[in-house]
Structure 1
Amino acid sequence: MSLAELEQRPLLTRQELQDCLAAAQQAARSGGDELLRSFRAVTDVRYKQAHTDPVSGADLASEAAITGWLRRHRPDDGVLAEEGSDEAGKSGLRWVVDPLDGTVNYLRGHTFWGVSVACEQWRGGRWDPVVGVVFDPLHDEVFSAMEGQGAFLGEERLSGPLTGHLDDALIATGYAYDVSHRREQGVRLAGLVGGVAGVRMLGSTALALSWVAAGRLDAYFEDRASRWDWAAGRLIAREAGARVRPLGTGVLAAADVLFEGIEEHVVTADTVEAQGNSSW
């Protein structure tokens, strides 16, 4: 189906959104189950674009479980996943999957990692997330959102960041795989760190954005990330009331009252240029 034909697909009904949400939750749990089987027992690790970017058999097993579930239950939809799955589909819907966001944490035995599954619809010349699920298997926490319907942790509705002052804010960030770019990120972060309560580098974009939605963090930013890192999390944060914008190829999400104070430190000419190639 051509992109022009996809544009003609009507917006999803509430029931269709609920069906997609249920599918995302089931798919994410199937991946999470695979990850729990191998946690703290992984030996087959290799590296992709840099020594800071590992992949393991657990990543691949999780992606196979998620995409296999989607192919069986949503055969007409497209799939885009971090470890290589890329199928166009014919329904006007696409699943964007990060089978393990926080791989370094996972491999080192840290507990901050999760599974991200988003459903996107093609409209207005771009893919827009309409359903997002981020699953934290170790703590059995399911963060979810449907477009226009709010964000939830399990059955609890989320209301986003709580802090109203920048000097009280707890923020998190993510660093690029490219070590030279990390140095640039460090310089920008230095201008911000003295004006906030604390800065964390947690290691999972998807889960950090979900923590913004839950009020556990007041802001998150990362200027180099892939679509599968933030597709679900950005929707969850936005539906919880956070203000969200693209930042380079990544994302900035924060309490509205804090947004401009953080933005002035992290938006640069480089991030604006990268944004021109962003898939938002």
Structure 2
Amino acid sequence: MALVVDPAELLAIAVDAAEAAGELLLRRFRVPAQGVERKSSSTDMVSDADRDAEALIRERVRAARGDDAIVGEEGGEQAGASGLRWVIDPLDGTTNFLFGIPQWAVSIACEDDEGGLLGVVRSPCHAETFTAIRGRGAFVGREALAVSRKTDLADALVATGFSYLPSERAAAARILLRVLPVVRDVRRAGAASLDIAWTAAGRFDAYYEIPTHHWDWAAGVVLAREAGAVVSTLEPLGPSGPGLVAAGPGLHDALRALVTGAQR
């Protein structure tokens, strides 16, 4: 279906919802958590804060775009007829949030039949909103984003993350043993959407993670590509699904080869 709405209007909806959810989450941050439950494993947590933030975002999106589909990490998928789909991670970095670590984000993307149309990653603790529209560049506030221009992995600060499943964590550790001696250093900050946004901003030189879920990367990938990154998928380590590499053109192929070589 042809897009008949200005993507800037959709971006405004996403920014409004992300910033409102961020304010809700800030009010819950570093106070005793409620409704904490385990999901896929003993280390994969969800709380009332996740659920309430997603409910707020869904309400804002439905009020503005009632015919669009919505898929969220906590609330499942709602069908739509418009040809647009919103992909929501209401609290990316739940473990950090629950432990009082200020590295978590709200991630909202909107997709059409060509893929990611726009992405918003809101970092409430840093008071930063990362935005991108396909073909129109990526920004934090009004500052244009650009990925690292480095070409040597030995100079690269690389972000990564790990699965919640023990078998996949062991495989990720084996990959890390191959990557760590080759790069400048590795950071595991605990929120994939922020890792990718910071890669888009050149704060990290590159990012890889296996597995990643759609809601983890949907917004960040739009940011990264609009900032000049090359983004590609990685083969799964197990049942959780494929992974992702995002880096500037001078680093992507070498990092991808290093990670895939370590998977064999």
Q: Matched residues in 1 for 2:62 and 2:243: separation?
A: 28
What amino acid maps onto 1:104 in structure 2? Answer: T
Aligned residue number for residue 188 of structure 1: 175
Counterpart CA distance in 2 for 1:16 and 1:42 is: 42
Q: Which moves more between the two structures, 96-105 or 81-90?
A: 81-90
Select the residue among 165, 171, 174 that pairs with 2:158.
171
Q: Which residue does 2:185 correspond to in 1?
A: 198
Is the Cα contact below 8 Å between 2:175 and 2:262 reproduced in 1? Answer: no
State the SS of the aligned residue for 1:267: helix
User: Does residue 1:116 correspond to 2:107, yes or no?
Assistant: yes
Counterpart AA for 2:82? S
* 2:30 aligned residue: 40
1:262 aligns with 2:255: yes
Contact kept? 1:98, 1:228, Cα under 8 Å: yes
Residue 5 of structure 1 corresponds to none
The CA RMSD measured in Å over matched residues stands at 1.5
Contiguous gaps of at least 5 residues in structure 1: 1-8, 272-280
- Residue 20 of structure 2 is aligned with which of 30, 51, 74? 30
More moved, 254-263 vs 210-219: 254-263
Structure 2: unaligned runs, 5 residues or longer = 236-241
Q: In the alignment, which residue of structure 2 is the partner of 1:143?
A: 130
2:70 corresponds to 1:70: no
Aligned with residue 251 of structure 1, among 224, 232, 244: 244
Please give the per-residue CA displacement for 1:69-127, whole angstroms capped at 9, x wherever unaligned: 1111111111000002311111000000000000001110111100000000024xxxx
Map of 2:238 onto structure 1: none
The two structures have a TM-score, normalised by structure 1, of: 0.88
Match of 1:278 in 2: none
Q: For residues 53 and 213 of structure 1, what CA distance do their matches in structure 2 show?
A: 27
- Cα distance, 1:268 vs structure 2: 5.8
Aligned equivalents of 1:198 and 1:134: distance in 2?
24
Cα distance in 2 for partners of 1:263, 1:250 equals: 11
- Match of 2:113, SS state, is strand
Cα deviation, residue 212, structure 1? 0.4
Secondary structure at the aligned position of 2:131 is classed as strand
Equivalent in the alignment of 1:61: 52
Residue 120 (structure 2) aligns with:
133
Asked if the contact 1:42–1:58 (Cα under 8 Å) also holds between the matched residues in 2, the reply is no
Matches of 1:250 and 1:24, distance apart in 2: 25
In the other structure, the counterpart of 2:239 is none
Corresponding letter in the other structure for 1:240:
A
Using the alignment, how far apart are the partners of 1:269 and 1:190 within structure 2?
A: 9
Contact 2:149 2:250 in 1 (8 A): no
Q: 1:84 aligns with which of 75, 80, 98?
A: 75
String of CA shifts for 1:243-268, please: whole Å, max 9, x gaps: 11112323110111111211112126
Contact persistence 2:54–2:75 (CA under 8 A):
no
Where 2:208 maps in the other structure, the secondary structure is: strand
Distance 1:131 1:40 in 2: 31
Is the contact made by 2:149 and 2:249 (CA closer than 8 Å) also made in structure 1? no
Please, what TM-score do these two structures have when normalized by structure 2? 0.93
Identity rate, percent: 44
* Residue 163 (structure 1) shift: 2.5
TM-aligned CA distance change 1:270 to 1:166, over 3 Å: closer
CA separation in 2, counterparts of 1:96 and 1:250?
18
Quick one: distance in 1 between partners of 2:137 and 2:208? 21
Q: Is the 8 A contact 1:163 1:169 kept in 2?
A: yes
